[in-house]
C-alpha cells in the first residue's frame, strides 16, 4: 500500500539524515507525486506523527510478545535504551514532534493508552504491584530520555531488572 511505502521511505530517510525530511524529499525518494504523498500526509507534522505512531506500534508489538513470555520488565528496559537506527529515529522525531510547542493529540492519546497497557503488563508480571510497575516505567522513561539526549549510561540490563523488581509482588 502506498501509505506504508511512503512511511517506510520517510523512516529510512529520517534515520539516514538524522532529521525528519521535508515532504518534497520524501516524495522524491518514494518516487511518488507530491500530491500523492499529501493525500496521505498533508503536512510534515502529519508525517512526523505517523512516524511516532508507527514507533509506538512497534513497542506495543514487542510488549505484547513480552507479556506472553513473562519478560515485560526486561523488554521495557531494553526498549528504553535504544541503539542504532531506533536511537537515530527517536532522536530525530523528538524535536519534530514538539516543533509547534506540543505533541499532536493523536500521538499523545496513543502514547497515553499504550503506556497504560505497558504498565499494566509490567504490573501483571510483578504480581499485580502497580507501584513497582510505575517505578519500572519511570526508570525506563529516564533511560530513554538520557539516550535520546546523548547521555551514555553504562548499564547491566539483567542487574537493573533484578534491582527494580526486588520486593515486587511482596
Rounded Cα distance between 150 and 92, Å, is: 12
Ranges 98-107, 132-141, 160-169, most confident: 132-141
Higher-confidence residue: 108 or 120? Answer: 120
- Mean pLDDT for the chain overall: 91
CA angle 98, 45, 78 (to 5 degrees): 60
The DSSP code for 127 is T
Give the closest residue to 153 by CA, choosing from 88, 94, 82, 85. 82
Q: What is the pLDDT of residue 170?
A: 45
Rounded average pLDDT over 150-167: 85
Task: Decide if 107 contacts 43 (C-beta within 8 A).
Answer: no
Rounded average pLDDT over 94-122: 84
Region of 145 please: left (phi>0), alpha (psi -120 to 50) or beta: alpha
Share in percent of the chain as helix, strand, coil (round to 5): 75, 0, 25
Instruction: Tell me the DSSP string of 89-107.
Output: HHHHHHHHHTTTSS--HHH
Q: What is the pLDDT of residue 102?
A: 57
The DSSP code for 22 is P
pLDDT tens digits, 17-65: 999 999 999 999 999 999 999 999 999 989 999 999 999 999 999 999 9
Amino acid at each position: 500500500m502506498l501509505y506504508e511505502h511512503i512511511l517506510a521511505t520517510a523512516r529510512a530517510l529520517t534515520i539516514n539524515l538524522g532529521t525528519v525530511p521535508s515532504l518534497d524529499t520524501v516524495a522524491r525518494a518514494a518516487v511518488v507525486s507530491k500530491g500523492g504523498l499529501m493525500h496521505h500526509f498533508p503536512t510534515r507534522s502529519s508525517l512526523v506523527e505517523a512516524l511516532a505512531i508507527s514507533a509506538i506500534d512497534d513497542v506495543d508489538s514487542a510488549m505484547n510478545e513480552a507479556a506472553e513470555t513473562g519478560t515485560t520488565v526486561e523488554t521495557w528496559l531494553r526498549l528504553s535504551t535504544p541503539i542504532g537506527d531506533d536511537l537515530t529515529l527517536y532522536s530525530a522525531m523528538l524535536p519534530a514532534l514538539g516543533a509547534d510547542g506540543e505533541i499532536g493529540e493523536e500521538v499523545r492519546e496513543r502514547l497515553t493508552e499504550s503506556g497504560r497497557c505497558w504498565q499494566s503488563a509490567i504490573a501483571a508480571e510483578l504480581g499485580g504491584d502497580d507501584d513497582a510497575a510505575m517505578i519500572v516505567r519511570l526508570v525506563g522513561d529516564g533511560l530513554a530520555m538520557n539516550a535520546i539526549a546523548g547521555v551514555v549510561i553504562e548499564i547491566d540490563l539483567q542487574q537493573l531488572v533484578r534491582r527494580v523488581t526486588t520486593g515486587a509482588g511482596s
